[in-house]
Amino acid sequence: MPVRIVETSPFSDQRPGTSGLRKKVKVFQAPHYLENFVQSIFDSLEGFAGQTLILGGDGRYHNREALQIILRIAAANGFGRIITGRDGLLSTPAVSCLIRKHRAFGGIVLSASHNAAGPEEDFGIKYNIDNGGPAPEKLTNAIYQRSTQIDRYLTIDHADVDLDHTGICRVGNLEIEIVDPVADYADLMETLFDFDRIKDLFADGQFSMCFDAMSAVTGPYAREILEQRLGAPAGTVIRGEPLPDFGGGHPDPNLIHARELVAMMNGTAPPKFAAASDGDGDRNMVLGPNFYINPGDSLAVLAANAHLVPGYATGLSGVARSMPTSAAVDRVADHLAIPCYETPTGWKFFGNLLDAGRITLCGEESFGTGSNHAREKDGLWAVLFWLNLLAARMQSAEEIVRQHWGKFGRNFFTRHDYEGLDAANAEAMLSRLRNELAALPGQRMGSETVKTADDFSYTDPVEGSISTNQGIRIGFESGDRIVYRLSGTGTEGATLRVYMERYEPHAGAHDQSSQTALAKLIANANEIAGISAHTGRSRPDVIT
């Protein structure tokens, strides 16, 4: 089948953010926009002729159309085989697992994660390398550079491929295998967790749970694993049909966007346990009745109890968390005498540590937790880990967390997001703060004294690459901490994220809300950066 060379010219806005390129659907629908970016990816890679690529997305609006375009470009560029999920669906962790299972050259994930979906909303694309994880910065930089110079892309003329049924078909020399999106992933989960024990938990009639798939990609995965393989009653998974607009919702598993689930757990007769995942299935939020579990605490609890889970029973080599994430897991690492790494925000920074065997578990405050079973964070995996702990300890999630605090102390943590800010204003606010950092140590703020102030820079311990400007950190004599950074995943204006943390060793002080425990720090954070003055906002849009 002849390759067609299409002349094009560069777009100036194709720099990948924290997790790939995310833009409005309308931007991606512009002639040549997606084609340019995909060709820029392929032009930045070497040695893929005849190789396998995994391709799939979270089912959001434009998923199918984009997939067909990418199939044609991949065929024209000489890939040998593409594996995709039925209906073009693959969760982000499932893409990672398939890349690893099939020793594929890499993968393309079509998702804008938790961002809303629909014709007026967001779309995204991300390249993953052969370890199953997001492309590292040197590759995303190369893709961006290429996108600024691109003058042609390759495609073929071929009708759309039928994605609705599993099977194998060909487009030119390219073999396309359409697989059940769930089976391989579910099989992998069975190798990690004690399914028999979790089945017993569901069977004894005392236990109940609700999993909110938020009308996004995790529904089919959760139904197969929880309701089919583990015997949870039908209806345990709610909003389990992936919809192109996610039902008009915002599939971000946090206290604001998963409000129906939160209301259920705070209402009368809630189930014993609840969880939610996001658009592409890599985030998780876990809840007990009237009890929210902060992602930093969740990571710490999983690390402290990993010996109870078959896939991790032989011990952890180390753990890692992103810099803004609470240091709860650091205390567990100390206790286990294993290393704990602090990385910049972005799952891609865990890849080298996982590949080198330096860490087994890792996580982020942004509701991401994962392990060496994949190279992406994994929402359902975290839920299964929790279920395995509930079954092994025969305690509630709240009891497990409270005992954890009793042993290790509690890291109170909150994140305040100010969304849709004027980008130039937000940048100016942080650059002013950056310029003042040197003068901050020693300054008193109410009853607190600033001890350290810097802009986080990370040297990858495996390959030595350096990433600078990864977040402004203010540390106080008391050990309290504030972090400021701008989100790298939004598509409109800027989102300012302010993270605040305070360690409380005394059990008598654990039973208060984070917002109460952190009230003074929150006020200091506003004052130091002048948030209200610069943004005109008196309160954040999202609090986690």
Least distance from ligand G16 to the Cβ atom of residue 95, Å: 12
Query: SS3 for 96?
Result: helix
The token pair that represents 248 in the structure block:
């008009």
Q: Write down how long the chain is.
A: 544
Out of 347, 385, 386, 413, the residue judged to bind ligand G16 by CB under 6 A: 347
Out of 63, 91, 489, 526, the residue judged to bind ligand G16 by CB under 6 A: 489
- Region binding ligand G16 by CB under 6 A among candidate stretches 75-83, 162-170, 234-242, 361-369: 361-369
Least distance from ligand G16 to the Cβ atom of residue 359, Å: 15
By the 10 Å C-beta count (0-12 exposed, 13-18 middle, 19+ buried), 267 is classed as: exposed
Instruction: Determine if 488 is a binding residue for ligand G16 (CB under 6 A).
Output: yes
Out of 242, 249, 368, 475, the residue judged to bind ligand G16 by CB under 6 A: 368
Out of 487, 520, 537, 541, the residue judged to bind ligand G16 by CB under 6 A: 487
Least distance from ligand G16 to the Cβ atom of residue 227, Å: 25
Instruction: Determine if 147 is a binding residue for ligand G16 (CB under 6 A).
Output: no
Instruction: Residue 82: name the closest of 58, 106, 66 by CA.
Output: 106
Cα–Cα distance list, 226 to 239, 283, 432, 441 (Å): 14, 17, 50, 51
Give whichever of 330 and 364 is closer to ligand G16, judged by the CB atom: 364
Among positions 240-299, residues that touch ligand G16 (CB under 6 A) are 278, 282-283
Give whichever of 181 and 346 is closer to ligand G16, judged by the CB atom: 346
Among positions 2-31, residues that touch ligand G16 (CB under 6 A) are 18-19
- Region binding ligand G16 by CB under 6 A among candidate stretches 212-220, 294-302, 345-353, 448-456: 345-353
Least distance from ligand G16 to the Cβ atom of residue 113, Å: 3
Give whichever of 72 and 473 is closer to ligand G16, judged by the CB atom: 473
Least distance from ligand G16 to the Cβ atom of residue 18, Å: 4
Q: Choosing from 19, 96, 111, 113, which is the catalytic residue?
A: 113
Instruction: Determine if 91 is a binding residue for ligand G16 (CB under 6 A).
Output: no
Instruction: Determine if 60 is a binding residue for ligand G16 (CB under 6 A).
Output: no
Q: How far apart (Å, rounded) are the C-alpha atoms in residues 240 and 227? A: 11
CA dihedral of 49, 16, 466, 345, whole degrees rounded to 10? -120
Query: SS3 for 33?
Result: helix
Q: How far apart (Å, rounded) are the C-alpha atoms in residues 283 and 78? A: 34
Give whichever of 58 and 330 is closer to ligand G16, judged by the CB atom: 58
Give whichever of 320 and 440 is closer to ligand G16, judged by the CB atom: 320
Least distance from ligand G16 to the Cβ atom of residue 302, Å: 17
User: Would you tell me how many other CB atoms lie within 10 Å of the CB of residue 230?
Assistant: 22
Query: SS3 for 19?
Result: coil
Residues 486, 490, 491, 494: is their CA dihedral positive or negative? negative
Cα–Cα distance list, 309 to 187, 198, 199 (Å): 16, 11, 14
Give whichever of 473 and 497 is closer to ligand G16, judged by the CB atom: 497
- Region binding ligand G16 by CB under 6 A among candidate stretches 47-55, 150-158, 406-414, 487-495: 487-495
Least distance from ligand G16 to the Cβ atom of residue 345, Å: 5
Query: Please, how many CA atoms are within 13 Å of residue 533, restricted to the half-sphere of its CB?
Result: 10
Long-range contacts of 166-172 (CB under 8 A, 24+ apart): 166/86, 171/1, 171/71, 171/72, 171/75, 172/1, 172/75, 172/76
Least distance from ligand G16 to the Cβ atom of residue 489, Å: 3
Q: How far apart (Å, rounded) are the C-alpha atoms in residues 273 and 388? A: 12
- Region binding ligand G16 by CB under 6 A among candidate stretches 53-61, 160-168, 403-411, 485-493: 485-493
Give whichever of 18 and 326 is closer to ligand G16, judged by the CB atom: 18
Judged by CB under 6 A, the number of residues near ligand G16 is 17
Least distance from ligand G16 to the Cβ atom of residue 343, Å: 9
Query: SS3 for 449?
Result: strand
Instruction: Determine if 493 is a binding residue for ligand G16 (CB under 6 A).
Output: no
Give whichever of 195 and 349 is closer to ligand G16, judged by the CB atom: 349
Instruction: Determine if 113 is a binding residue for ligand G16 (CB under 6 A).
Output: yes
113 is annotated as an active-site residue: yes
Instruction: Determine if 227 is a binding residue for ligand G16 (CB under 6 A).
Output: no
By the 10 Å C-beta count (0-12 exposed, 13-18 middle, 19+ buried), 455 is classed as: middle
DSSP-derived letter for residue 287 is: E
Residues contacting residue 49 through CB under 8 Å, at least 6 positions apart: 78, 79, 80
Out of 146, 410, 481, 497, the residue judged to bind ligand G16 by CB under 6 A: 497
Residues contacting residue 356 through CB under 8 Å, at least 6 positions apart: 462
Instruction: Determine if 370 is a binding residue for ligand G16 (CB under 6 A).
Output: no
Contact yes or no for 133/351 (Cβ under 8 A): yes
Instruction: Determine if 413 is a binding residue for ligand G16 (CB under 6 A).
Output: no
- Region binding ligand G16 by CB under 6 A among candidate stretches 175-183, 329-337, 341-349, 391-399: 341-349
- Region binding ligand G16 by CB under 6 A among candidate stretches 50-58, 167-175, 362-370, 402-410: 362-370
Pairing of strands 122-128, 3-7: unpaired
Q: How far apart (Å, rounded) are the C-alpha atoms in residues 141 and 146? A: 9
Give whichever of 207 and 349 is closer to ligand G16, judged by the CB atom: 349
User: Would you tell me how many other CB atoms lie within 10 Å of the CB of residue 66?
Assistant: 24
Helices then strands (H, E): number in the chain? 18, 27
Give whichever of 113 and 535 is closer to ligand G16, judged by the CB atom: 113
Instruction: Determine if 114 is a binding residue for ligand G16 (CB under 6 A).
Output: yes
Q: Which chain residues interact with ligand G16 by CB under 6 A?
A: 18-19, 113-114, 278, 282-283, 345-347, 364, 366, 368, 487-489, 497
Which residues are catalytically annotated? 113
